Structure 1
Amino acid sequence: MPTIKQFADCRIVIYFDDHDPPHFHVITSDRREAIVRISDCEVLTGLAAREFAEAHAWAMANRELLLARWKEFN
């Protein structure tokens, strides 16, 4: 599970051989987790986007990079 981006209170990771739709995981420093679809950055499960606002904003601006990493790992 490579870390794509590290923030002060969470990190964005993409698992190898994960299920569709293309998505990433946000894991907080206290080990809570959200799954976020790459295409529109909608939170599919877990935390509310406001709980990881910095990571969510970064992901919105870097969807092409996230999708490229998804394709590389899956």
Structure 2
Amino acid sequence: MPEISRFLGMIIKMFFDDHNPPHFHVEFQEYRAIINIKTADIIEGYLPPKQLKSIQLWTSIHEEELLENFINLGKDFKSWNKIEPLA
């Protein structure tokens, strides 16, 4: 699963040709979550509240880039675009 960003101890990844809704995977310490790109809500898993707020902010800033990765690149098995971390 290719890494598309990393910040604040979190690793953000996407699978090629993954299922809908558009989403990405987050790893933070022992926690794992799948985040809906359009709503920034957790689809599955858990993140501590502080990390979830950071991910939701990052998702809102980079929604278009995340959707481009998921919809256009992921379906065609092309390389993902790296996305800037949350500063």
Band the TM-score falls in, shorter-chain normalisation:
0.7 to 0.9
Cα deviation 1:27-64 (Å, max 9, x = unaligned): 11x24210111111111111146242323311121110
What is the TM-score of this pair, normalised by structure 1?
Answer: 0.83
Equivalent residues of 2:41, 2:56 under 8 A apart:
no
Q: Which protein is richer in helix relative to its size? A: 1
* Structure of larger gyration radius: 2
Q: Which runs of 4+ in 1 moved over 2 A?
A: 53-56
Structure 1: how far apart are the matches of 2:61 and 2:49?
16
What is the TM-score of this pair, normalised by structure 2?
Answer: 0.72
3-state SS of the aligned residue for 1:25?
A: strand
1:37 match: 36
Structure 1: how far apart are the matches of 2:14 and 2:56?
14
Q: Indicate the structure whose relative CO is greater, using CA pairs within 8 Å and at least 6 residues apart.
A: 2
Shift of 1:17: 1.6
Number of equivalences: 73
Equivalent residues of 1:7, 1:55 under 8 A apart:
no
- Identity of matched residues, %: 32
